[in-house]
C-alpha cells in the first residue's frame, strides 16, 4: 500500500522544491510529497493520480484547480489581502515544521481515520531513561542519547516529567504539547497519526513532542493510555528508537518500564542515593519485576554545565563531556553485542 499524495504547487520553483525536499526527508511524514511549479503539470498529474492534500499558492490557484478531485485543498498565502476562497490559509513564509503542523491541523479535522501504510511489523526499540534518585543529569543524558542516535537512526524523544522547563530552556513557545495528543485520542477514534504531525518538533535530526505544561496533565494520564499512545505511534510512524524520559509521576510506571527494551538508570554513589537504590531494587523484587532490573543499565553521567551564551544547548551536550560519555557507552554496548 503506497502513501497518499501530498502535492505542493507554487509558481516559485525553488520554494516548491525546497519545501517538498524537506518534507520528504522527514521520513515520518505520512505522505508522499510531490512538487509542482505550474498548474498544467498539476492538472495532468491529478487526472491520473489521487491527491489527498493540495497545498497551493494564491498565485497558482484558479478555477481549473477547483474542479480537480482533490480531497483537501489548502492555500499557501503570502500574507496578502484576499477575498474568501473557501479554503483554509497557511502563511507561506514560516518554518517548514510550522507549515506542516498547520496543514495537518486542517487535515485531521475532516479525516479522522488514517489512510496510510501501517508499520506495525517494524520493530521499534523503546529505551527508558529513569532513576529513583534525583539530580542525576537524567534529561541531559536522554537528550544527548537521542541526538547521537538520531545521527544514524530515526529517533523520537518523549519527556514525561512534571516540569521539563523546555520553553524556558530553549526559548520557545509551544502551540500544543503531548497532553493535547492524549486529549485528542480521548475525544475521537483514529487520526492520531495526523495530529502528531501538527505537534512534533525537532532538535536537529532528533524529533520530539513538547512535554506537558501542567504537572496535572502528566498525572491525569493512565498507564493504559500511555501504552496505547506509544502503540499507535509505533504502528504508524517509522521510528527506529523511541526514548522515554520518565518520572515517578507517570501512572503505572513499572508496566511502562516492562515494555522497554533497555533502561538507562543514572545513579550516584553517595549514601542517600545508594539507600534509595536499595529500596527501589527491593520493591522490584517484591513485585516480581526482576525482568525490569535485568534490562537496566546503571550509569554515571558526567557533570556538564550548559551556557546560555555557549550556543545551541543540545549541541553543547552532544559535543561536550556528556556526548563523549554517550558515544563511549554506545560503542561498548555494540562491542558486547557482537
Cell reading at 264: 538507562
How much of the chain is in helix, strand and coil states, percent to nearest 5?
A: 45, 20, 40
What DSSP string describes 271-321?
A: HHHHHHHHHHHHHHHHTT-HHHHHTEEEE-PPP----GGGS-HHHHHHTSH
Task: Assess contact for 181 and 232: CB atoms under 8 A.
Answer: no
Q: How many CA atoms lie within 13 A of 166 on its CB side?
A: 25
Task: Assess contact for 215 and 249: CB atoms under 8 A.
Answer: yes
Give pLDDT tens digits for 71-124: 899 999 987 766 566 788 999 988 888 888 888 888 877 655 444 333 344 489
Of the two residues 126 and 107, the one the predictor is more confident about is 126
Of the two residues 194 and 314, the one the predictor is more confident about is 314
137-140 CB contacts, 8 Å cutoff, 24+ apart:
137/266, 137/301, 137/302, 137/303, 137/304, 137/322, 138/245, 138/266, 138/301, 139/164, 139/245, 140/301, 140/304, 140/306, 140/317, 140/322
Cell reading at 298: 546503571
pLDDT for 115: 41
- What are φ and ψ of residue 110, in 5° steps? -110, -10
Please state, in angstroms and rounded to a whole number, the distance separating the CA atoms of residues 56 and 19.
Answer: 12
Please determine, for residue 338, whether its predicted confidence score (pLDDT) is greater than 60. Answer: no
pTM: 0.75
Q: What is the mean pLDDT of residues 321-338?
A: 87
pLDDT for 3: 77
Of the two residues 195 and 62, the one the predictor is more confident about is 62
In sign, the C-alpha dihedral spanning 90, 94, 96, 98 is negative
Give pLDDT tens digits for 41-54: 999 999 899 999 99
Give the confidence band of 188 by pLDDT, cuts at 50, 70, 90. low
Q: What is the mean pLDDT of residues 179-200?
A: 80
Average pLDDT, the chain: 88
Please state, in angstroms and rounded to a whole number, the distance separating the CA atoms of residues 222 and 210.
Answer: 19
pLDDT for 129: 98
240 secondary structure, DSSP code: S
Straight-line distance from the first to the last Cα atom of the chain, in angstroms, rounded to the nearest whole number: 35
- What are φ and ψ of residue 30, in 5° steps? -80, 30
Tell me which residue has cell 534529561: 139
Give the confidence band of 154 by pLDDT, cuts at 50, 70, 90. very high
210 secondary structure, DSSP code: P
Name the most confidently modeled range: 82-86, 195-199, 243-247, 307-311.
Answer: 243-247
Lowest mean pLDDT among 6-20, 67-81, 260-274: 67-81
Of the two residues 173 and 120, the one the predictor is more confident about is 173
pLDDT for 257: 96
pLDDT for 120: 43
Beta strands in 49-141 (DSSP E): 51-57, 70-77, 89-91, 125-129
Give the confidence band of 265 by pLDDT, cuts at 50, 70, 90. very high
Angle at 77 (CA atoms; ends 18, 43), nearest 5 degrees: 70
Strands 125-129 and 262-266, sheet pairing: parallel
- What are φ and ψ of residue 117, in 5° steps? -65, 125
Longest CA–CA span in the chain (Å) reads: 75
pLDDT for 30: 75
Please state, in angstroms and rounded to a whole number, the distance separating the CA atoms of residues 22 and 14.
Answer: 12
pLDDT for 324: 97
158 secondary structure, DSSP code: E
Work out the burial of residue 240: count CB atoms within 10 Å of its CB; fewer than 13 is exposed, 13-18 middle, 19 or more buried: middle
Of the two residues 309 and 139, the one the predictor is more confident about is 139
pLDDT for 124: 92
Amino acid at each position: 500500500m503506497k502513501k497518499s499524495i501530498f502535492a505542493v504547487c507554487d509558481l516559485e520553483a525553488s520554494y516548491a522544491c525546497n519545501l517538498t525536499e524537506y518534507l520528504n526527508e522527514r521520513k515520518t511524514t505520512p505522505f508522499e510529497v510531490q512538487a509542482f511549479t505550474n498548474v498544467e503539470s498539476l492538472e495532468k498529474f491529478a487526472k491520473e493520480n489521487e491527491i489527498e492534500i493540495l497545498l497551493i499558492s494564491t498565485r497558482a490557484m484558479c478555477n481549473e484547480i477547483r474542479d480537480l478531485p482533490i480531497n483537501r485543498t489548502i492555500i499557501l498565502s503570502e500574507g496578502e489581502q484576499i477575498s474568501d476562497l473557501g479554503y483554509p490559509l497557511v502563511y507561506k513564509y514560516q518554518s517548514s515544521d510550522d507549515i506542516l503542523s498547520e496543514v495537518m491541523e486542517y487535515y485531521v479535522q475532516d479525516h479522522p481515520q488514517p489512510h496510510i501504510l501501517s508499520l506495525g511489523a517494524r520493530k521499534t526499540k523503546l529505551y527508558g531513561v529513569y532513576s529513583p534518585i534525583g539530580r542525576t543529569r537524567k534529561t541531559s543524558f536522554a537528550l544527548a542519547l537521542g541526538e547521537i542516535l538520531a545521527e544514524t537512526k530515526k529517533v523520537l524523544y518523549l519527556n514525561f516529567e512534571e516540569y521539563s522547563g523546555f520553553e524556558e530552556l530553549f526559548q520557545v513557545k509551544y502551540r500544543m504539547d503531548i497532553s493535547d495528543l492524549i486529549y485528542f485520542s480521548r475525544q475521537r477514534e483514529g487520526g492520531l497519526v495526523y495530529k502528531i504531525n501538527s505537534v512534533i518538533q525537532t532538535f536537529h535530526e532528533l524529533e520530539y513532542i513538547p512535554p506537558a505544561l501542567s504537572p496535572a496533565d502528566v498525572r491525569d494520564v493512565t498507564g493504559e493510555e500511555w501504552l496505547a499512545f506509544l502503540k499507535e505511534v509505533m504502528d504508524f510512524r517509522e521510528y527506529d528508537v523511541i526514548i522515554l524520559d520518565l518520572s515517578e509521576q507517570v501512572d503505572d510506571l513499572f508496566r511502562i518500564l516492562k515494555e522497554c527494551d533497555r533502561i538507562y538508570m543514572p545513579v550516584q554513589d553517595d549514601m542517600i542515593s545508594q539507600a534509595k537504590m536499595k529500596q527501589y531494587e527491593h520493591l522490584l523484587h517484591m513485585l516480581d519485576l526482576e525482568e525490569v532490573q535485568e534490562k537496566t543499565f546503571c550509569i554515571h553521567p558526567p557533570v556538564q554545565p550548559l551556557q546560555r551564551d555557549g550556543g545551541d544547548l543540545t549541541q553543547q551536550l552532544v559535543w561536550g563531556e556528556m556526548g563523549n560519555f554517550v558515544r563511549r557507552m554506545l560503542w561498548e554496548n555494540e562491542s558486547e553485542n557482537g
